[in-house]
């Protein structure tokens, strides 16, 4: 029996474990920034989903295709533009929203091509980030945000509250929300205590 509040790992990641739980069997899934396609492969073989991926790095695309996952090499904006409306049941964006040029547009596009969006991101409101900033007086560096400001891919950092505010602004319904610190689910004060947030949202 697992401890209450404990979240296991899927392919070494807790957010994947949650995504793996959210996705209903036999659905159509698009994973943006799918890397080497491990999650999609898992969803295809364990949940019978029809899996597609978008990834920019050629070496990762090659590995994904070689494991039998249909991945398309291009950037995120282009990756979504071609698809017809509501082509997917879920569009997944895992740990990448903060790296996009236009996160709001990406979110809109996700919910144009998909009935639901699953967004996982590192929470910039976590207390370690705040402490780091307060005591060092420099751009914060933590386990979750390990980069020097001039090397960081994270160009649109956000907190749990930031995401919820954007969801409200966009008129989205948050169907489920999960907050994680390591392998534990965070109940109270997620904006302060969650390292990673996973949201399931839909239009209207």
Partner 1 sequence: MIVEANTVRFDAIALDSGATLAPVDVAYETYGELNAAKTNAILVLHAFSGDAHAAGISAEGGKPGWWDNMIGPHKAFDTNKYFVICTNVLGGCRGTTGPGSINPATGCPYAMSFPVITIGDMVRLQKMLIDWFGIDRLLTVSGGSMGGMQALEWAVSYPERVVSAIPIATTTRHSAQQIAFNEVGRQAIMADLDWSEGNYHGKQPPARGLSVARMVGHITYMSDDSMREKFGRRLRGKENFSFGFDVDFEVESYLRYRGSQFVNRFDANSYLYITKAMDYFDLSNGHASLAAALEKTTARFLVISFSSDWLYPSYQSQELVRALRARNRDVAYVELQSNYGHDSFLVDVAEQTDLVRGFLANTFEKAQ
Residues that bind partner 1 (CB under 8 A): 50, 52, 58, 61-62, 64-74, 82-84, 87
For partner 1, which is the closer residue by CB, 64 or 180?
A: 64
For partner 1, which is the closer residue by CB, 37 or 122?
A: 37
CB of 112 to partner 1, least distance (A): 13
The Cα 30–Cα 87 span in angstroms is 9
Name the region of 71 (left: φ>0; alpha: ψ -120 to 50; beta: rest).
Answer: beta
For partner 1, which is the closer residue by CB, 50 or 162?
A: 50
CB of 56 to partner 1, least distance (A): 11
For partner 1, which is the closer residue by CB, 58 or 146?
A: 58
DSSP-derived pairing of the beta strands 50-55 and 172-181: unpaired
How many whole angstroms from its chain centre is CA 3? 25
Q: How many CB atoms lie within 10 A of CB 48?
A: 11
CB of 62 to partner 1, least distance (A): 6
Q: How many CB atoms lie within 10 A of CB 79?
A: 24
CB of 7 to partner 1, least distance (A): 30
CB of 40 to partner 1, least distance (A): 11
For partner 1, which is the closer residue by CB, 72 or 127?
A: 72
Shortest CA distance to 124 belongs to which of 161, 166, 91, 93? 161
Beta bridge partners of 120: 94, 198
Non-local CB neighbours of 85 within 8 Å, separated by 6+ positions = 112, 113
């Amino acid at each position: 029996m697992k401890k209450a509040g404990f979240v296991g790992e899927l392919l070494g990641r807790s957010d994947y474990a949650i995504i793996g739980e959210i996705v209903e069997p036999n659905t159509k899934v698009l994973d943006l920034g799918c890397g080497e396609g491990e999650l999609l492969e898992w969803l295809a073989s364990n949940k019978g989903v029809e899996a597609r991926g978008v990834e920019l790095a050629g070496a990762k695309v090659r590995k994904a295709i070689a494991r039998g996952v249909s991945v398309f090499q291009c950037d995120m904006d282009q990756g979504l533009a071609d698809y017809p409306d509501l082509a997917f049941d879920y569009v997944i964006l895992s740990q990448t929203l903060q790296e996009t040029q236009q996160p709001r547009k990406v979110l809109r596009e996700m919910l144009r091509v998909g009935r639901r969006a699953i967004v996982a991101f590192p929470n910039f409101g976590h207390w370690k980030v705040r402490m780091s900033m307060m005591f060092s007086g420099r751009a914060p560096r933590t386990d979750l945000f390990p980069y020097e400001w001039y090397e960081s891919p994270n160009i649109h950092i956000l907190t749990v509250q930031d995401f919820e505010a954007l969801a409200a602004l966009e008129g989205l319904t948050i169907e489920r929300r999960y907050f994680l610190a390591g392998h534990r689910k965070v109940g109270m004060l997620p904006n302060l205590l969650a390292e990673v947030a996973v949201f399931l949202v839909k239009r209207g």
